[in-house]
Amino acid sequence: MTAQQNGRELYLGLDVGGTKCAVLVGNAKGEILDRIEWKSNATRGAAPMIDDLCNNGRALMTKHSGVVSAGASIGGPLDADLGIIKSPPNLPGWDNIPLKDLMEEKLGVPSRVEHDAAACCLAEVRWGAGIGASHVAYLTCGTGLGAGLVFDGNIYRGAAGQNAEIGHARFREDGPDAFGKRGSVEAFCAAGALGKIASWKFPARWPKTPSSKEVADQAQGGDAEAKAVLEISARSIGELCATIGDFLRPDMILIGSLAQYLGEEWMNLVRQEFVEEALPQTAEHCTIRAAGLGARLQDCSALIIALAASPNWK
């Protein structure tokens, strides 16, 4: 029996990245029913990548009747109001690409495009660690440092459909470099920054920048200098959470990739720094948690944007 015969709507999610892409079909419960993944080969530019996304999307729509809308989760910068992609650094050639319009033309269903960090935040609020929270901030803490904000069930966007951005802000007078700015938030708080922190803080030990995984593995093996790098990371993120907490007064801040990789001991350092740096009222009413969807988060982030594009979205 098909989804239509059951009276259940299905949704098509597009996860668009510089390394891999995926299309998936799921339902309003966040269950992924079918999925296709492939390497992006992003150097080809936008047109062939969009063809792959929509061709694979149509294949899933043919296989699963009842798809009523589509959504794409993609890195910025972008205008999410209009669904226009504006030259993300990991997607060469995606310059003012009207992705929303192209999806609607090629897929034939209402479509929506959203910044991946915002999409992750909304997915966590709907199906993950953010359930029940009304004002949520999400920090990706992955290869880079992205932020998403969801207030009262809605993604916050600034002028021209722009997503909240925190990674490029000045954080320290000195420190590692990220995108040409030494001492930025991203240079201290991204998972991809652990190796940079190591070679900046301990240049004699790491004259050549190690991988973040190498530093994390050595710390978990008891290496004192590697553990110091992880503490710098945790306390930097805790301080960032205090700044966000005092400024926006969310009831929850969710931490992405690093929290999954480094575990509860690292998260406790984040929370300790947050409590020390934030106003007492902020610390009392704001919870710091690891994102809850784990390996499902990328798929769910695309799915939730598809769900938000449907006429019945609430």
Hey, what are 70's tokens? Answer: 């589509």
Q: How far apart, in whole angstroms, are the C-alpha atoms of residue 61 and residue 231?
A: 47
Q: Does residue 41 come out as left (phi exceeding 0), alpha (psi in the -120 to 50 range) or beta?
A: left
Q: How far apart, in whole angstroms, are the C-alpha atoms of residue 109 and residue 69?
A: 5
Q: Position of tokens 């930097």?
A: 236
* Helix%, strand%, coil% for the chain, nearest 5: 45, 20, 35
Let me know if 143 is exposed, middle or buried by CB neighbors in 10 A (0-12, 13-18, 19+). Answer: middle
**Fold equal for 3-114 and 129-292:** yes
List strand residue ranges (DSSP E) for 92-146, in order.
95-98, 111-115, 135-139
List strand residue ranges (DSSP E) for 185-262, in order.
252-255
- Residue 120 Cα to chain centre, angstroms: 5
Instruction: Say what the pLDDT of residue 180 is.
Output: 82
Nearest to 147 by CA among 131, 126, 124: 124
Angle at 171 between CA 170 and CA 173, to 5 degrees: 85
Count of other CB atoms within 10 angstroms of residue 296: 16
Please name the residues in contact with 243: beta carbons below 8 A apart, sequence gap of 6 or more.
277
Instruction: Say what the pLDDT of residue 97 is.
Output: 98
Q: Position of tokens 């192209």?
A: 102
Nearest to 67 by CA among 15, 17, 10: 10
Please name the residues in contact with 143: beta carbons below 8 A apart, sequence gap of 6 or more.
190, 191, 192
**Domain 3-114 annotated CATH 3.30.420.40:** yes
Own/partner contacts of 44-51, CB < 8 Å, gap of 24 or more, are 44/93, 45/92, 45/93, 45/94, 46/85, 46/91, 46/93, 46/94, 46/95, 46/97, 49/16, 49/21, 49/91, 50/97, 50/99, 50/102, 50/106
In the chain, where are the structural domains located?
A: 3-114, 129-292
Instruction: Say what the pLDDT of residue 6 is.
Output: 44
Nearest to 118 by CA among 91, 90, 92, 79: 79
Name the DSSP class of 290.
E
Let me know if 314 is exposed, middle or buried by CB neighbors in 10 A (0-12, 13-18, 19+). Answer: exposed
Full-model pTM: 0.93
Hey, what are 139's tokens? Answer: 């920090």
Written as tens digits, the pLDDT of the chain (314 aa) is: 344 434 589 999 999 999 999 999 999 999 999 999 999 999 999 999 999 999 999 999 999 999 999 999 999 999 999 999 999 988 999 999 999 999 999 999 999 999 999 999 999 999 999 999 999 999 999 888 999 999 999 999 999 999 988 888 999 989 898 888 888 999 999 999 999 999 999 999 999 999 999 999 999 999 999 999 999 999 999 999 999 999 999 999 999 999 999 999 999 999 999 999 999 999 999 999 999 999 999 999 999 999 999 988 87
- Rounded to the nearest 10 degrees, the angle between the axes of helix 194-201 and helix 212-220 is 80
In CATH, which of 3.60.15.10, 3.30.420.40, 3.40.50.300, 2.40.160.10 is domain 129-292?
Answer: 3.30.420.40
Name the DSSP class of 209.
P
